[in-house]
Structure 1
Amino acid sequence: MALIVEDGSIVAGADCYADVAAFDAWDTDFYGTASTATTADKEAAIRRAVVYLDSLSWKGRRLEGRSQPRAWPREGVADGEGNIIPTDEVPAEVIFAQHRLARAELTSPGALDAEFKASDAVKREKVGQIEVEYVRGASVADDARTIVAMAMDEIQGLLTGGDVTGGGTSWVLRA
């Protein structure tokens, strides 16, 4: 099912802040080429990234309260430099973070899941005479966690407490 983009006007059924085309353009700009994942996999990763973003403690409040499906747009928000975020805007930092988090999910599905453990990744599997060696699991997971850290750095000025630090495989907001 195609993504429905929240553009700051409280779009009914919105499930993302930017679509696959925007993700592909961002991916090309930052990684030299767009991911070769299927559109369906990209959409799923974007949806997981948005669920993660929407679970964070953002400054301000949703324009339509609890009935508003996405965390953005919001009112009463200033960024880390004190610039007021208009109430009809999804900040560029949020869109950038969505792209980074979707990239982390494509790199290592489940990277945003609280239960994800890098140590659980499989390196080699052998069944009878068939043996397959996968990309080093810990390395892939570490790459995903680095991408998540960059996303959190991008949005820290929009979060309550304003300081987000990585704590292993989880994120802790410090007040």
Structure 2
Amino acid sequence: MSVSFYGTLAAADAYFADRGKAGWAAASDSDRLAALVRGSQAIDALYEPRFTGRRTGGYDQVLSWPRSGATTVNGAVIADDATPLPVTYAAYEAAALELSEPGSLTPVIVAARTVKREKVGPLETEYAVADTSDDMIASAKPVLTMLDGLLYPLLRPVLPGILVV
């Protein structure tokens, strides 16, 4: 396994071959490797706050996994030196998205450039505008159902808010 990304290029190639994703194999080795790095970084950026446990090698560890004290949603203990297969598969899926559209998983948001209304001839479009910068960031993040499904067993459960009076 690389220090810069989850899994290996050969394993990613086999993963996509099994799924009939020819676009992956058509890219150069360097493009696929760069996509694996960006995909792994996106997994860590989007999901690390919801992973259980903490980085085994401390904060200086490049990737979020392996983790110590990590468990599945069902309470199964994950070995301190293990990177669960769903993390690797999610990184491969994120890499495929990054290969097809670099930067799509980590959008850059500039509030001053957000268009609320656009008119071209007789056609007019008005875009939804977020009230706060947090709302704007949340609305710009992609919804990644495939990744959510793969990583679900490794994420902290989302509990409804509890109001104490």
Q: Compute the TM-score of the two structures, normalised by the length of structure 1.
A: 0.63
Distance 1:17 1:36 in 2: 21
* Structure 1 runs (4+) greater than 4 angstroms displaced: none
**1:52 correspondence with 2:51:** no
Equivalences for 1:104-123 in 2 at 5 Å? 104-115=97-108
Match of 1:42 among 22, 32, 35: 32
Distance 1:149 1:46 in 2: 19
Q: CA-atom RMSD, angstroms?
A: 2.3
Structure 2 unaligned runs (5+)? 110-141
**1:21 correspondence with 2:14:** no
Query: Can you list the C-alpha shifts for 1:75-119, whole angstroms capped at 9, x where unaligned?
Result: 111112322111111000101101111111122222212238xxx
Equivalences for 1:1-175 in 2 at 5 Å? 5-6=1-2, 14-31=3-20, 33=22, 34-55=24-45, 56=47, 57=49, 58-115=51-108, 148-161=144-157
Give the 3 Å change call, closer, same or farther, for CA 49–32 of structure 1 in structure 2: closer
Question: Which letter maps to 1:62?
Answer: R
Query: Whose relative contact order is higher, 1 or 2, with alpha carbons under 8 Å and at least 6 apart?
Result: 2
Q: Compute the TM-score of the two structures, normalised by the length of structure 2.
A: 0.67
Q: Is the 8 A contact 1:80 1:162 kept in 2?
A: no
> How many pairs does the alignment contain?
125
Instruction: From the CA coordinates, give the structure whose radius of gyration is larger.
Output: 2
